[in-house]
Structure 1
Amino acid sequence: MTIEYTGRLDDETVFDTTRQSVAEEAGLAEAQPDREYTPLTVEIGAEQVIEGMEEGLIGLEAGDTETLTIPPEKAYGEPSEEHVQEFETAELREMLGGQTPEEGSYLEAQNGSQGEVVHVDEEIVRVDFNPRLAGETLTFDVEIIEVN
């Protein structure tokens, strides 16, 4: 099926959308200039979207609009200490070509996951690889464009 959607957090912050106008309004288009905002085609059952969205799309027809509220356990889960990794500062500095990461900056792991640097001192750098939306209840306004 092909859908348009806008995803919001509890405080109404738009974190993702398929609509160009919404992306521009929310400042997302500026932050991701290479991204194209176009309808998303989803194959139900193929785990291409979070569990709660997939469940919410089942049974919808072309032309339907729906608001899906998805708790963390059906979205990105709860944040976990297991996803916070420690590195030796000297070792990480070497891997980064001599640079010391700053708190608040992001690093990409070899598997492609993004982590936020949450602590830096002379000995240890802690990087939080929890999904950015872990612990959040997500609300999606969904419009079904086509069911194939």
Structure 2
Amino acid sequence: MQISKDAVVEFHYTLSEAGEQIESSKDGEPLSYIHGTEGMLPGLEKALEGKAAGDNFSVTLEPSESYGERVDNLIQRIPLKHLQGNTKVWKPGMTAIVHSNQGRHQVTIVKVGRFNADCDLNHPFAGKTLTFDVEVINVRQATADELSHGHVHGEGGCGHSH
């Protein structure tokens, strides 16, 4: 099956900038998303269109097709209790996840106080030209449940209450 709207796509990727590896999914689970539901970077989704399980390819994305350009002085003070990550002690340079009305955002800690942290709201990869080496693992039709929820369900359902 080829990747098209409403297909569930599982893929591994290695991400690099200027030939230097930044991130890879190879040591863990493949990434999965529903094609055509804006759950994936626009440029990467465009490159995945029409591919099938077993396909390997590389695509280089300008900032406009991935995480956007960097915006200077995009700093916001956020209460520490709203920062999510693998730590109890936040330090400048660390990244955290913040949930807002606009969804989930990755932020970079600039300065930490007793109750708040000043965070750079730019995505850590904003302003970078990124190369994705992609291996398509599996392609299947999304279920009606997945389409109504807007995300892929793992084995045994999606694990959240309705």
**TM-score, length-scaled by structure 1:** 0.64
Equivalent residue for 1:48? 39
Equivalent residue for 1:134? 126
Question: Percent identity of the aligned residues?
Answer: 31
1:83 corresponds, among 74, 87, 92, to 74
**Higher share of residues assigned helix:** 1
Q: Is the 8 A contact 1:9 1:15 kept in 2?
A: no
Equivalent residue for 1:65? 56
Equivalent residue for 2:156? none
Equivalent residue for 2:17? 9
CA deviation after TM superposition for structure 1 residue 14, in Å: 2.6
Runs (5+) with no aligned partner, structure 2: 1-8, 83-89, 141-162
Structure number, greater radius of gyration: 1
Distance 1:70 1:117 in 2: 26
Deviations 1:101-142 (A, max 9, x none): 764355665636343343689xxx753111111011111111
Runs (5+) with no aligned partner, structure 1: 21-36, 96-100
2:96 maps to 1:104 = no
1:144 corresponds, among 133, 136, 151, to 136
Letter aligned with residue 13 of structure 1? Q
**TM-score, length-scaled by structure 2:** 0.59
Q: 5 Å matches for 1:21-36? A: none
Structure 1 SS opposite 2:59:
strand
Aligned residues: 124
Cα RMSD of the aligned pairs, angstroms, is: 3.5
Distance 2:65 2:71 in 1: 15
Distance 2:21 2:106 in 1: 21
**Higher share of residues assigned strand:** 2
Q: Which stretches of structure 1, 4 residues or more, deviate above 4 A after TM superposition?
A: 105-110
